[in-house]
Homo-oligomer: A and B are copies of this chain.
Amino acid sequence: MNTFGRILRISLFGESHGGAVGCTLDGVPPGIPLSEADLLPDLQRRKSGKVGTTPRQEPDQPRIVTGVFQGHSTGAPLTILFENTNTRSRDYRQFVDSPRPGHADFVAQQKYGGFQDYTGGGHFSGRVTLGVVAAGAIAKKIIAPAAISSEVLEIGGQQDYEAVLAAAVEAHDSLGGIIQLRVDGLPVGLGEPFFDAVEARLAHAVFAVPATRGIEFGTGFPAARMKGSEHNDPIIDERGTTATNHAGGINGGITNGNPVVFRVAVKPTSSIGRPQRTMNFAKGAVEEMLIEGRHDSCIALRIPPVLEAVTALVLADFKLVAQATAPAPQGS
């Protein structure tokens, strides 16, 4: 549902055009220096406004409503709100009758029996990830000194993607992309097999992010074409450093001290400004539709801080859990 994590638990809420979006983060250790300013850099990175992203501008100002006192986390739940202010009135009702291809319009209507908030995508809106990014900024503090970075490997199949992006914007079409995540400085021993293998929870969190279509760890899909003698990573020192990192920093579902590396495939944005076919349920006929307005041509450009955030949330939770499940002191 909308809660995730064992010790560090995020609960998400909100709709694009409702009163607010936000999250509650429970299980944050007390004593972490924290203010709203700490959340702004990642929120800024998530913002639209660049080429290929929607011109809708929200202030995206986080308000830490609870859980911080005198500049530190208190140990009580931390609720962060983003009030919705820029909700354009518009005829979203039409998408109940004529569900947009690639969107959740059709499944939401079926699952929620017509009661879903259909304005602006409702709870399916990418705007809900604001709470994820804010929580992730806190999780990054928990996993320090480990550090997460991300890189746009390609957009529309191109490493140098400016031209293809401009062409897509011009054509009112959209592009996807591939993002690589990397985490340096993790200790050996995070992860709780069987079901809470590090890859398992990372993938879980990554696929919760809208528009993700694939994930691969270490060498990933190409590993399926390697021989064991090529793929196995030789251990070359007493800290567990490996000569290669085909495993992506994880063995048996547990971090091995090498960088955790994975890549995420992001689909082209579903909202495009070109004619599309869909079923019109009111008329009982397939017809052509054109979605007006301006949208992100490439959500992959805004998704990196969201992927970093879910990565941080997963790893911070693992770190706290590892403190709980450490070997018993000798003599106990």
CB distance from A175 to the nearest CB of B (A): 6
**Contact between A74 and B176 (Cβ–Cβ < 8 Å)?**
no
CB distance from A232 to the nearest CB of B (A): 4
**Contact between B26 and A277 (Cβ–Cβ < 8 Å)?**
no
**Contact between B113 and A173 (Cβ–Cβ < 8 Å)?**
no
Q: A124-B252, A174-B228, A286-B236 known; A115 and B72 CB under 8 Å?
A: yes
In the complex, what residues of B have CB within 8 A of residue A326's CB? Answer: 29, 113, 323
CB distance from A267 to the nearest CB of B (A): 5
Closest to A319 in B: B324
**Contact between A224 and B117 (Cβ–Cβ < 8 Å)?**
no
CA distance A266 to B31 in the complex (A): 33
14 contacts between A and B (CB under 8 A): A7-B324, A13-B79, A22-B79, A31-B328, A101-B234, A103-B251, A110-B189, A111-B322, A157-B225, A213-B217, A228-B270, A229-B272, A238-B279, A321-B324
**Contact between A221 and B330 (Cβ–Cβ < 8 Å)?**
no
CA distance A324 to B319 in the complex (A): 8
User: Quick check: is A214 within 8 A (CB to CB) of the other chain?
Assistant: yes
Q: Out of B15, B240, B327, which one reaches A31, CB within 8 Å?
A: B327
Q: Which 10 A-B pairs have the closest CB atoms?
A: A104-B252, A214-B216, A113-B327, A174-B228, A76-B123, A204-B204, A203-B203, A101-B232, A30-B115, A157-B225
Q: A217-B213, A235-B99, A238-B279 known; A69 and B116 CB under 8 Å?
A: yes
CB distance from A235 to the nearest CB of B (A): 4
**Contact between B232 and A272 (Cβ–Cβ < 8 Å)?**
yes
Q: For residues 188 through 223 of chain A, which have their beta carbon under 8 Å from a beta carbon of chain B?
A: 188-189, 191-197, 199-208, 210, 212-221, 223
CA distance A26 to B242 in the complex (A): 31
CA distance A242 to B278 in the complex (A): 9
In the complex, what residues of B have CB within 8 A of residue A111's CB? Answer: 75, 188-189, 191, 254, 322
CA distance A79 to B12 in the complex (A): 10
User: Quick check: is A54 within 8 A (CB to CB) of the other chain?
Assistant: no
Q: How many residues of A contact B (CB 8 A)?
A: 161
In the complex, what residues of B have CB within 8 A of residue A213's CB? Answer: 216-221, 223-224, 248
In the complex, what residues of B have CB within 8 A of residue A272's CB? Answer: 228-229, 232
**Contact between B116 and A30 (Cβ–Cβ < 8 Å)?**
yes
CB distance from A155 to the nearest CB of B (A): 8
Q: For residues 240 through 255 of chain A, which have their beta carbon under 8 Å from a beta carbon of chain B?
A: 240, 242-243, 246-248, 251-255
User: Quick check: is A311 within 8 A (CB to CB) of the other chain?
Assistant: no
User: Quick check: is A147 within 8 A (CB to CB) of the other chain?
Assistant: no
**Contact between A188 and B102 (Cβ–Cβ < 8 Å)?**
no
**Contact between A30 and B332 (Cβ–Cβ < 8 Å)?**
no
Closest to A72 in B: B115
CB distance from A159 to the nearest CB of B (A): 12
**Contact between B252 and A210 (Cβ–Cβ < 8 Å)?**
yes
**Contact between A14 and B79 (Cβ–Cβ < 8 Å)?**
yes
Query: 0/1 per residue, A76-110, Cβ < 8 Å to B?
Result: 11110100000000000000000101111011101
